[in-house]
A = this chain, B = another copy of it.
Amino acid sequence: MKDDRNRSVRLLWETPAEPSRGPKAALSQARVVEAAIKVADAEGIEALTMRRVAETLGFTTMSLYRHVPGKSELLDLMVDAVWGETERTPKGPWRDGLDFYARQLWSMYRAHPWLLQLTNARRMPGPNAMTRTDAAFAVVSELGLKTEEMVAVVTSVGQFVAGVGRTMADRVLAERETGVSEEDWWNDRDELWEHFTPERLPMMTHIWNSGGFERPLDEFEFGLARLLDGLAVFVEAGERPPVRPATCL
């Protein structure tokens, strides 16, 4: 059973038959997942321990394992549950659609920053994630792109949001974890600025002195506008420039 490679597929894509024997379950998979999401939302992924989840539910640690095969699978379930909260991208012009998709992802990451602390490699995709992705593909389906180009376009948006989101998430989570604000943290390390001299770091001191770091542009809004502009150049071009195929891993 342990080495059943398809166990996680069934876990996410199928609803198991209820057992006919045995005592009524006081706990359920849904409640475990829900509690785990709450813990992760409130305290970040490193606070998400089986002991902590069990504690918030008022059960013992090991009772969780009756409803969830292990922590890894619990994470899979948490991720897909969170995807389920997002809206599917509606049909419409490609640029509006990708903008909508990006903002959906963004709000998902803002609500659940711990998503970005997780690896995506080797994580079983669930039905909610897949239907959302499918809807995003649909908005670029009538541009006459090759299918691999459609994949590249949608992926680039997803990757962009994840990239910006990660920076945001790291900041928020560090703040909550340590109880120290970003600003206070840097102020505590005041000796750093003594090393920022015009000879060593001419541009950084110039930007610093003219306040470029203090009034940053919104990374999400700036980057999304630039990316969509760049995609527009590609999408609306008569003949599209070739892209080298993937070089290697």
Contact A147 B210, beta carbon cutoff 8 Å: yes
A133 lies within 8 A of chain B by Cβ? yes
B121 lies within 8 A of A171 (CB): yes
- A147 touches which one: B188, B189, B207, B241 (CB < 8 A)? B207
**Chain B residues whose C-beta falls within 8 Å of the C-beta of A33 in the assembled complex:** none
The stretch of A21-29, A63-71, A79-87, A162-170 that contacts the partner chain: A162-170
Known: A174-B121, A210-B147, A226-B231. Is A215-B245 also a contact (CB below 8 A)?
yes
Interface size on A, residues (CB 8 A): 89
Q: Map CB proximity to B onto A123-156 as digits: 1 under 8 Å, 0 otherwise.
A: 0110100110111011001000011111110011
Residues of B within 8 A of A195 (CB): 9, 13, 127
**B246–A217 contact, CB under 8 A?**
yes
| Nearest CB in chain B to that of A195: its residue | B13
User: Interface with B: A34-42, A49-57, A197-205, which one?
Assistant: A197-205
Residues on A lying within 8 angstroms of B by beta carbon are 5-6, 8-10, 13, 119-122, 124-125, 127, 130-131, 133-135, 137-138, 141, 146-152, 155-156, 159-160, 162-164, 166-168, 170-175, 178, 182, 185, 188-192, 195-196, 200-204, 206-207, 210-213, 215-219, 221-223, 225-231, 233-234, 241, 243-247, 249
Question: B130, A207: Cβ atoms under 8 Å?
Answer: no
- Shortest CB-to-CB span from A103 to chain B, Å, is 12
Listed by A's residue number, 6 A-B pairs whose Cβ atoms lie within 8 Å are: A5-B189, A121-B167, A134-B201, A138-B202, A151-B217, A152-B223
- Which B residues lie within 8 Å of A213 (CB)? 148, 151
Flag if B189 contacts A6 (CB, 8 Å). Answer: yes
Count of this chain's copies in the oligomeric assembly: 2
A216 to nearest B CB, angstroms?
6
Kindly provide the distance from the CB of A76 to the nearest chain B CB, expressed in whole angstroms: 12
A195–B80 CA distance with the chains assembled, in angstroms = 15
Contact check, A131 vs B223: say whether CB atoms are below 8 A apart: no
Given contacts A121-B171, A189-B9, contact A203 B141 (CB under 8 A): yes
Known: A124-B192, A138-B202. 5 other contacts (CB 8 A): A9-B195, A121-B171, A147-B211, A159-B219, A227-B227
> Could you tell me if B222 and A156 are in contact, using CB atoms closer than 8 angstroms?
yes
- B122 close to A219 (CB less than 8 A): no
